Structure 1
Amino acid sequence: MTAPTSRTALRSDVQGLRAVAVLTVIASHAQFAPLAGGFVGVDVFFVISGFLITQLLIREVDRSGKVSILGFYARRARRILPAATVVLVATAVASVLWLGPVYAPGALNDTIWAGFFAINLHLGMAETDYFSRDLPPSPVQHYWSLAVEEQFYLVWPLVVLAVVMLVARKHRRSQGARRRDTAAELRALLLVLLVLSGASLWWSIAQTGANPTASYFSPFTRAWELGLGALGAIWLAQRERSPSAKEWPRLAVELLAAAGLAAIVWACFTFNEATPFPSWRAAVPGLGSAAILVAGGLGAVRSVTDRLLSVRPMTLTGDWSYSLYLWHWPLLVIPVQYLGRELTAFERVAIVALTFALAWLTFRLVETPFRRAQWLAPSWRGVVVYPATVLLLLGVWWSSTSYLTHRPDGDGEVVALGSDWQQRYGTTDRAQAMVKAAVGAAEEDRDLPAALRPELSDLVDSYADVGRCDYADDSVRELCPRGDVESERSIVLVGDSHARHWIHAFDAIGRKYGYRTYYFVRVQCSASLVTPDLTDSDRPNTGCVEFRDWAADQIAEIQPELLVMSTSAPVGGLRGPDGEHLTANADTRPVVKQGYVEALKRLKTRAERTVFLLDIPRVITDPATCLGSARATLSSCLLETQENHGRMQSDQRKAAREAGVESAETQQWFCVDGRCPTVVGDLVAYRDSSHMTNEYARHLAGSLAEELGLTEDSPADGAAGSAD
């Protein structure tokens, strides 16, 4: 979103519209019901920005016959960078202090992306990664809209300059006169903008269905919204220059402005997180905003909507809107991550009040002084603001990262089993005994070990690499044998991300016992033979269905000695037997269970032996939140299993029996009586609430081989990972 230029240079209704935009965004993010669709305030900002920037460019062309690109970028830098940098630095410091070594590094990296105005591209790439979607939201995620606008500003002035120059050259050739044809320039701009905006809208509709998360952040799917504002500015400029233009009737202006405001309000109350967006739906708040902006420029008579938007509280909020937008998001998300729980209503109200206080200070002490600073008046000095802010952010990133790197994880000792561990813990399984020992140490409230594996700063990246066989990409259809690739025997692992986190264990088993290993795993694609929804919409995930069919054909050709299925249930909705859309757990649970049965029956005909490896226990909170706390101990990080986990495991056991295959337990390697230690020995067991780390998977290789009945086989060269 663009920072206001100055109070006198802007129409008061525009400032009021800024207030509507920022208040709806804050209300939505602060979970003030029923404004679930308040995120459309960002779309309102896009239209305002396109409108105002195009007006400024047209006026500059009118004055000088050209566009000063350097001057334009210098003005943008002075108005946008100071406040944005202050909030980024404050967010980086807060992340180090309160997010700890697990999540702070990601937040620090995001501040650099935000500083380069490329955070939207980074989020688009990261959010397509299932394991990144598991992470808490970035405290600078909201900078994506600034990045989209800055990318628009990078291109649009160049387009305006090119069009003006081409029209002027054509006019001189045809008329032989130096006087510019401003009407022709505006017509050419209008035509170019219609083509570019139309292409962007088409791409937005196409990508929202195919790649909804990435399309949300893309400048190519959002450019048409800024184009709407630019179209309004060009149309008004054409009207001002037309001698035949007639004043609109008062009623028409009133209806246009009221309809625009009604469209924004309607979107705020009817859209929600499940609404496919932006697609064509962004046109509702977009056209509404454009209608208000155009109505306000049609004549001397002010509409009722104009007057409502121009009241003092609205214009004042509009003045602060840029800083309000910058501050509100980190103030809302950092406390949630620090506390490990949702905020109460009182806490959210207090944070919104703090947002207004900080926005007022930032507007008075940062935005206004930099905007008015005479020493920055020369264009080259204004442009220098950008590299200066980047250097500052890099310095903050380096110092903060260094601090986190040298921060100790804990000062306790690794829990030792002792020589009598089999008698003491009643098991011959060393991995199970270590879990029992970890629970005992937690009951004694012992400290975390001085060093953990993986290190906390690496925890979020501890998920198995599938190399070139990332089947989440529908274009990838090849095999990637691992383990003992020279062996004639093979093991196949099938499932979703809850199979993928076993890869390091099966790699070690394959190397030790002489098996080629294949991993037909696709994140967000449960092995249950149901049709799940796409992650970010209610559309069917046909890619998942096609992948499972392809995988079944490949397994039939491989004919593995052992096939292991490990999976979770679909996390969203799915299609029932008759094609009906199911979302409630009571409706989906029996369908998913039957899907397990059908999947196992199909797969067992393609392998000598089939085993359903039951899903690992899910814990109620994110382990990283606990481990990242300065007060973390083994006791405070002893977590409980989720309420529905027992029912899910029961369904999987029953499905295995009905399909006539074996099932293998996993509970004993993670929990004792529903209590699950986050740290076992010096190993962090959980990457998040439902996935284990690579390091823990390697640790379980020996126990897993025993559970699957593979320990009688003759070992090949190499060694499987075993209990440490």
Structure 2
Amino acid sequence: MSTSKHIPEIDGLRAVAVLAVVLFHLQVPYMAGGFAGVDIFFVISGYLITSGLRQSSDMPLGTVLRDFYIRRARRLLPPLYAILLASSMLALAVMSSDRLRSFGGSVMASALSAANVFFFWGSGYFDSSSDLKPLLHNWSLGVEEQFYLVWPITYLLAQRLKWHGSHVALCIGLVGLIASEAVLRSNGSAAFFLMPLRVHEFMIGAVLAHAGAWSRPNSSRSTHALDLLTLIGMALMAWAIFTFNAHTPFPGVMALVPCVGAALVLAAAPQSRVGALLRLAPMRWLGKISYSVYLVHWPLIVFYRIISGREHLKPSARWWLLAATLLLGWLSWRWIENRWRPNQPGRNQGFVAGMLIATAVLLTLGWALQQEQWMDHRPWRSSMITPREIDLGKKKRFVLRQQVCTERGWELCDAPAPGKRNGLVIGDSHAVDAYNAFVHVRTNDHIAMSEQGGCPPHAEIDNIVLPNHPDLPKCRALNKTRFDTSHLKSFDYVVINVLMGWYTEQHLSDYLEFLHRQGIRKVIVFGQTWRASDELPELINRHGFRTEKLMPLLQSPPADQRVQDTARRLGYLYIDKTAALTSDRGFEVFDHHRVPFTYDEHHLSYEHSLRLLSKRSLDVEKYLGTP
């Protein structure tokens, strides 16, 4: 399989990859594994880059590297920089100052080929929703560009040392795969974002570049075999795209499914009859514009979400966003990619100088977008809730906890206090809301807390938690204590407050049953309440302190009737969180001091958390006072 001529099947494979990613991001049903399209791109890149390097291996090292990086820059940078500039203009128009700070950092990181590292650093549980980061998709470009920095030099040096390129690629790929699988178990974000833990996907393509000649058929029998291999490859890619989801341990070993599938198609499709599907004109067209389509699709979706205030896309919105993506992708390909991509040796110096200037401009722009002192004074984006107020509001949730633990000592803060009535609050990042309420009302009790973001109580937490949980080992250890009967019985009562979603009412009901079987008699469990479709301060800054405008942008509380029924049957006390935050005027999106009920999408503000027991304090007193 020579890369000296254009291979139409590669365009078809690119079409499959980009369509999978775009439909996944458009929330199209049955496309939960569309993220695997990125891995298909990685295999294609590994194959094409290595094939090109093989053909140039006899040329001087400096010449090969110079030509390689010029070609890559011409291919990648002009459309990328155009999208960065256009996205910055849109962000300046519609984003709050708080979000602009993070966005400005992502512009700088993208211009420096380090978007994956930037988003890895900011991939913690409390980071703002990934659905509202317009440049998040550039993480994959960061991975590719870092691969381009390392692999050509490594490969060409190995060639000059008479090492077989396929052996080098195979060794690097095996080490990368083992490392990815190992790190995935302890730090899913690192395995997802960082290039060394994705390198095995590129190496599959690199190995294929050395083995490509075997696919040339010399009989009808080999043609049948190639048809079968192409079908198997397509089936593997389809398996990943249609069956994988957020709970699939990924990348690691599972990334081999779409990657091996892509490699089989790359190897066999050009000489197979089944490969004609990839040679269809619409597939080739989409494959040719796939890079620009990838660049434009995610900012388009994110800015639509920001402007509309809707997290979930309606079917009609999906269709016109898809159409707009294809149109803008084609325009970018036609007027930017095609204009700059051809290598013009006599003009390369001017191109390099222009790209250096453009990079400097984007770095300056990214820095400027992070300067709060003047971004707050945009006349078209005045803030009713400032970034400083948001930061202070989020930090205020933990003030009581810090006071209690500082007075008692942090090492003893979550241990029972002798001579006092002791309560244990169990939960995820919402536990502190219940903690604030009980410390505020039960002033003579000592309240301990078993809390970690994204870590609700479950005996087999690995089976339900998202694979990219930022601190899964700590979560495992914490859940051991939550199922330690002697530890639980050292407290007089248990309080549970969690967010339901992937942690279901069945999970919580099962935990209540466990507590009852272990003889834990006093348990208070909180229900669910409204959630904002976007960070509530963002919605308020967009629509004002107008309840009638804000309520349609909130999501109804998840059903938890099973939890209520289980608690009642077991003699436990259930507290309706929504009722606690509702007045005669209805649910209070903000109080009379204009403090929002949340400074993000669902964690209660300090002021609203103190209201959780305001209507049920006597019921709690009576319940806990009963022997």
TM-score (normalizing by structure 2): 0.79
Matches within 5 A, 1:209-220: 209-220=185-196
- Structure 1 residue identity aligned to 2:389: E
Instruction: Measure, in 1, the Cα distance between the counterparts of 2:231 and 2:614.
Output: 68
The residue type paired with residue 670 of structure 1 is L
Residue type at the aligned position of 1:494: V
Change (3 A) 1:258 1:480: same
Q: Partner residue of 1:204? A: 180
Map 1:150-165 onto structure 2 (within 5 A). 150-165=145-160
**Structure 2 SS opposite 1:61:** coil
Instruction: Write out per-residue CA displacement over residues 585-637 of structure 1, whole angstroms, 9 at most, x where no aligned residue.
Output: 5x5464243245468x54x8xxxxx7737356333644345224255534423
Aligned mates of 2:6, 2:378 — CA distance in 1: 49
Match of 2:142 in 1: 147
Residue 694 of structure 1: how far off its partner (Å):
4.8
Q: Please give the residue correspondences for 1:260-659 in structure 2 after superposition, counting only pairs within 5 Å.
A: 260-295=233-268, 302-341=271-310, 342-372=312-342, 374=344, 377-378=347-348, 382=352, 385=355, 388-389=358-359, 391-399=361-369, 402=372, 404-406=375-377, 450=384, 455-456=389-390, 464=398, 479-480=410-411, 493-496=424-427, 497-501=429-433, 518-527=448-457, 533-536=463-466, 544=475, 546-550=477-481, 565-568=495-498, 571-572=501-502, 585=505, 587-588=506-507, 590-595=509-514, 597=516, 601-602=519-520, 612=524, 614=526, 617-619=529-531, 621-622=533-534, 623-624=536-537, 626-630=539-543, 633-638=546-551, 642-644=556-558, 647=561, 650=564, 654=568, 658=571
Deviation at 1:14, TM superposition (A): 1.7
Q: For 1:661-681, what per-residue CA distance to the aligned partner results, in whole angstroms no more than 9, with x for missing partners?
A: x77786566322651323541
Aligned equivalent of 1:38: 34
- Cα 1:166–1:360 change in 2 (3 A) is same
Cα shift readout 1:364-405 (whole Å, capped 9, x = no counterpart): 222222223748844695387257325424315514754642
For the aligned residue pairs, the C-alpha RMSD in angstroms reads 4.6
Deviation at 1:28, TM superposition (A): 2.6
Any idea what the Cα deviations from partners look like across 1:424-444, whole Å, max 9, x if unmatched? xxxxxxxxxxxxxxxxxxxxx
Aligned length: 602
1:503 deviates by: 6.0
Partner of 2:51: 55
Shift in alpha-carbon separation, 1:390–1:615, aligned structure 2, 3 A:
farther
Distance 2:191 2:398 in 1: 26
Q: 1:678 matched to which residue of 2? A: 590
Which one has a larger percent helix, Structure 1 or Structure 2? Answer: 2
| 1:199–1:343 Cα change, 3 Å | same
Question: Would you say the 8 A contact 1:527–1:596 is kept in 2?
Answer: no
2: CA distance, partners of 1:514 / 1:590: 30
1:692 partnered with 2:604: yes
Amino acid aligned to 1:405: D
C-alpha spacing 1:596/1:379, structure 2 compared with 1 (3 Å): farther
- What SS is found at the alignment partner of 1:282? helix
Aligned mates of 2:113, 2:468 — CA distance in 1: 31
CA distance in 1, matches of 2:169, 2:401: 42
Residue 225 of structure 1, CA deviation: 1.0
Aligned partners of 1:98 and 1:338 also within 8 Å: yes
CA distance in structure 2 between the partners assigned to 1:88 and 1:463 by the alignment: 36
Question: How far apart are residue 360 of structure 1 and its match?
Answer: 1.6
CA distance in 2, matches of 1:20, 1:536: 26
Unaligned 5+ segments in structure 2 are: 403-408, 622-627
Distance of 2:295 and 2:333 partners within structure 1: 11
Work out the CA distance in 2 between the residues paired with 1:538 and 1:192.
Answer: 30
Q: Hey, what's the Cα distance between the residues in 1 that align with 2:303 and 2:515?
A: 39
Cα shift at 1:71: 3.9
What TM-score results when the alignment is normalised by the length of structure 1?
Answer: 0.70
Q: Displacement of 1:58 after TM fit? A: 1.6
Distance 1:481 1:394 in 2: 48
- Measure the CA separation in 1 of the matches of 2:297 and 2:394: 25
Q: CA deviation at 1:457?
A: 7.3
The correspondence of residues 132-143 of structure 1 with structure 2, limited to 5 A, is 132=127, 136-143=131-138
Equivalent AA in structure 1 for residue 166 of structure 2: L
Q: CA deviation at 1:464?
A: 4.0
Rounded to whole Å, the distance in 2 between the matches of 1:20 and 1:692 is 42
SS at match of 1:682: coil
Residue 8 of structure 1: how far off its partner (Å)? 8.6
**Per-residue deviation, 1:407:** 5.0
Find the aligned partners of 2:197 and 2:334 in 1 and give their Cα distance. 35
Task: Report the Cα distance in structure 2 between the residues aligned to 1:292 and 1:613, rounded to whole angstroms.
Answer: 53
CA distance in 2: counterparts of 1:571 and 1:203, whole angstroms: 31
Amino acid at match of 2:180: S
One-letter code aligned to 1:500? V
Query: CA 1:367–1:495 in structure 2 vs 1: closer, same or farther (change >3 Å)?
Result: same
CA shift, 1:96, in A, is 3.7
**Distance 1:48-1:328 versus aligned 2 partners, 3 A rule:** same
Contact 1:200 1:221 in 2 (8 A): yes
Q: Confirm or deny: 8 A CA contact 1:22 1:41 kept in the other structure.
A: yes
How far apart in 1 are the matches of 2:556 and 2:487? 36
AA at the equivalent of 2:542 = S
1:538-592 Cα offsets, whole Å, 9 max, x none, are: 99x88646424447889969977x866242266436xxxxxxxxx7x5x546424
Q: Against the structure 1 CA distance between its residues 91 and 204, is the aligned structure 2 distance closer, same or farther, given a 3 Å change threshold?
A: same
Q: 3-state SS of the aligned residue for 1:317?
A: helix
Supply the distance in 1 between the matched residues of 2:438 and 2:559 (Cα, whole angstroms).
24
Contact 2:146–2:195 under 8 Å retained in 1: yes
Contact 2:543 2:549 in 1 (8 A): no
Distance change (3 Å), C-alpha of 1:487 and 1:223? same
TM-superposition CA deviations, 1:331-383 (whole Å, max 9, x none): 22321343233332222111111112111221122222222374884469538
Whole-angstrom CA distance in 2 between matches of 1:295 and 1:347: 38
Q: Give the distance between the partners of 2:159 and 2:86, measured in 1 at CA.
A: 42
> What is the one-letter code of the residue matched to 2:430?
H
Deviation track 1:439-489 (CA, whole Å, cap 9, x = no partner) reads: xxxxxxxxx9x5569635777777649999xxxxxxxxx954569xx9997
Q: Match of 2:450, SS?
A: strand
Give, as a single letter, the amino acid of the residue that structure 2 aligns with 1:26: V
Q: Give unmatched runs, 5+ long, in structure 1.
A: 1-6, 168-184, 412-447, 469-477, 574-582, 605-609, 711-724
Offset of 1:230 from its aligned partner? 0.7
Q: Shift in Å at residue 533 of structure 1?
A: 3.6
Distance 1:151 1:206 in 2: 21
CA displacement 1:155-178 (0-9 Å, x = unmatched):
1012113213333xxxxxxxxxxx
Closer, same or farther: CA 534–709 of 1 in aligned 2, 3 Å? closer
Distance in 1 separating the partners of 2:134 and 2:555: 28
Moved more, 73-82 or 501-510: 501-510
Identical positions, percent: 26
Whether the 8 Å contact between 1:259 and 1:288 is mirrored in structure 2 is yes
Distance in 2 separating the partners of 1:343 and 1:66: 50
Whole-angstrom CA distance in 1 between matches of 2:303 and 2:394: 17
Separation in 2, partners of 1:707, 1:358? 61
